Structure 1
């Protein structure tokens, strides 16, 4: 059972096309999945030429036309980028429109069971919005186009698995969104994901919102009034959850394997420890030496994994972008897809 994996092009003005070509240049990829790109074929061809790659671009109009052979890149061509007008490293409505359309097409292919999982290269939120598509990120696009109400962002790198109660909202708004029912839902999503990863009885740490998890109400009431009751309810439902725990303690224990998964209350609370592990800055050469980590959207009727870095406009087209995170995103999508294929066989 070798799953078909659709990889979206990302913003054509960013590093997406470049890291795709680098990932698809690895023979091992084709031993574990049937990968194809959803996006603009000319843009992928341009990335092939810029990198001096020997890969051939196979332009397809439907998934059945893909050859899935090492040495070629199957591109489901949307023909939506005018290369003569594209400026690498620049925000533009054209690039935003192309990136958005590739994501929507991949979602439709997955919903139609033409592909078994989707993997997304980075988009630029400003470009997407400039094109008239008012979303704050991939997660919200996927939720909207799959009509999903209960969903969450999960970040994975080594021992650290972090899910978020809130994501792309102002910090002031995030505090108001910390509610018992939402926290319980997120604990459940994280538990189910860990089981899917092969962890039979995952131990879950739930972060507090305020300093020292509120310290008995001295620094805020959300921890005692919303998070603690959520953890108690989750335990009653059979989940191995602990909290609220001061995040500075919880994440230090999690990276050593004490927790199988962590619940963060807001975007930066979860992203900062995650990127401290996966992102390596080379100060001598003033560049990122390595960018690792996978972003998975939980709660969807389809599979979506992603790199957890941006479009890196400042290095687009220079050939130095790391494909590490994309390799990992594809690696995580494969067992998730096989797991789902196995379940559909039994129905």
Structure 2
């Protein structure tokens, strides 16, 4: 049976951490919304973030009014509807934070929240992490030179083999590469990486309930190269990698034409698609599941999920942000924990 999202979060010994992300974005708002309404009210989650920023959001009356309960340790958390437990990771100057603007202190806070949550997970105090979106420019402005959450978490956990998974109920995508230039991707593409990602896809799908996962591998070139007419990467790199993982008993298909394989997966022919590069996988998934998509990092020593959208500075602190993706990412982290 495929994975089914939690309807009620009742297992309180599987606590997860929720990181604030960039406090100048929609992260604080969607966290309060997600943890105060419906099925997630009273969920076993502790928020790692700036308490004063969350209080400012509440003062604006753009999110439900709840008790923001500061705690020093996860063991102090009290899970009940109307209560959100906060491990305070304070901004350098909370009063100076400007909503919707790229700021060094906001990027630094986003980094520190992820670092603190990772420490909690590695110590076994939380079983998974759900992350609100950060802003890469702010992160870099603060001196933390990572392309995004995935690479930051890999560094903090010393993880060598990892991959980004985009997850919706009807379409699931895992990426061979993500935050690198397209030209660099072509120069560095290799069969070993493809084999590793296909194996991670199989392991991940089995973990979330697929007994016999069917995995499709997208080609690199138009029409998957058309037998070398539009490029030979499928012949020299992708096909040998697929053959190698088939010998390991993995049910894998391809290389498949990229312009059709995502629709085939969406309609149920495959359980996951291996995308070669960032936009190849992100565009179809965000088109079909922008509001309910979840970002998962496969290959870490703990579960990490994330809302599959950005900081949305243009609507930050206005009450317009939708919390569905954040809520689903918290539900999924709790289930997998």
Matches within 5 A, 1:37-56: 37-50=47-60, 51=62, 53-56=64-67
User: In structure 2, the residue corresponding to 1:103 is in which secondary structure?
Assistant: helix
Residues 115 and 227 of structure 1: is their aligned pair in 2 closer, same or farther, counting only changes over 3 Å?
Answer: same
Root mean square deviation, CA, Å: 1.1
Which residue pairs with 1:209 in the alignment? 220
Mapped contact 2:35–2:327 kept (Cα < 8 A): no
Whole-Å separation in 2 of the counterparts to 1:81 and 1:182: 40
Residue of structure 1 aligned with 2:148, choices 119, 137, 148: 137
Instruction: Give 3-state SS (helix, strand or coil) of 1:257's partner.
Output: coil
Q: In 2, distance between residues paired with 1:65 and 1:238?
A: 46
Q: Give 2:311's aligned residue.
A: 311
**C-alpha distance in 2, partners of 1:83/1:111?**
28
- Who is 1:186 aligned against? 197
C-alpha distance in structure 2 between counterparts of 1:58 and 1:320, whole Å: 25
Q: Distance in 1 between matches of 2:119 and 2:234?
A: 40
CA distance, structure 1, for counterparts of residue 154 and residue 94 of structure 2:
31
1:212-238 deviation line (CA, Å, top 9, x unaligned)? 111111111111111000111111100
2 CA distance for matches of 1:140 and 1:322?
26
Q: CA deviation at 1:186?
A: 0.3
Measured in 2, the distance between the counterparts of 1:63 and 1:239 equals 39
What does residue 15 of structure 1 align with?
A: 26
The answer to whether the Cα contact below 8 Å between 2:29 and 2:63 also exists between their aligned partners in 1 is: no
Aligned residue number for residue 121 of structure 2: 110
What do the CA deviations read for 1:297-343 (whole angstroms, capped 9, x no partner)? Answer: 00000110001100000000100100000111012112211xxxxxx
Q: Could you list the per-position Cα deviations for residues 117-167 of structure 1 after superposition, in whole angstroms to 9, with x for gaps in the alignment?
A: 100000000000000000000000000000000000000112111000000
Which residue is 2:297 aligned to? 297
Q: How does 1:1-347 map to 2 (within 5 A)?
A: 1-2=11-12, 3-30=14-41, 33-50=43-60, 51=62, 53-279=64-290, 291-337=291-337
Moved over 6 A (4+): none
Q: TM-score, normalised to structure 2's length? A: 0.94
1:52, distance to aligned residue in structure 2 (A): 5.5
Q: Distance in 1 between matches of 2:79 and 2:39?
A: 12
Secondary structure of 1:148's counterpart equals coil
TM-score, normalised on structure 1?
0.92
2:206 match: secondary structure: helix
Measured in 2, the distance between the counterparts of 1:303 and 1:80 equals: 26
Where 1:76 maps in the other structure, the secondary structure is: strand
What SS does structure 2 have at the residue aligned with 1:135? coil
Q: State the distance in 2 between where 1:4 and 1:81 align.
A: 28
Is the Cα–Cα contact under 8 Å of residues 155 and 274 in structure 1 kept in the other structure?
A: yes
Deviation at 1:27, TM superposition (A): 4.7
Structure 2: gaps spanning 5 or more residues: 1-10
* In 2: Cα distance, 1:39 partner to 1:52 partner: 16
The answer as to whether partners of 2:22 and 2:110 remain within 8 angstroms in 1 is yes
CA offsets, 1:176-224, max 9 Å, x none? 2221110000001011111111110000000000111111111111111
What is the SS of the residue equivalent to 1:37? strand
Is the Cα–Cα contact under 8 Å of residues 166 and 177 in structure 1 kept in the other structure? no
The answer to whether the Cα contact below 8 Å between 2:51 and 2:70 also exists between their aligned partners in 1 is yes
CA spacing shift, 1:292–1:52, aligned 2, 3 Å: closer
Cα distance in 1 between the residues matched to 2:302 and 2:24? 27
What secondary structure is seen at the aligned counterpart in 2 of 1:229?
Answer: helix
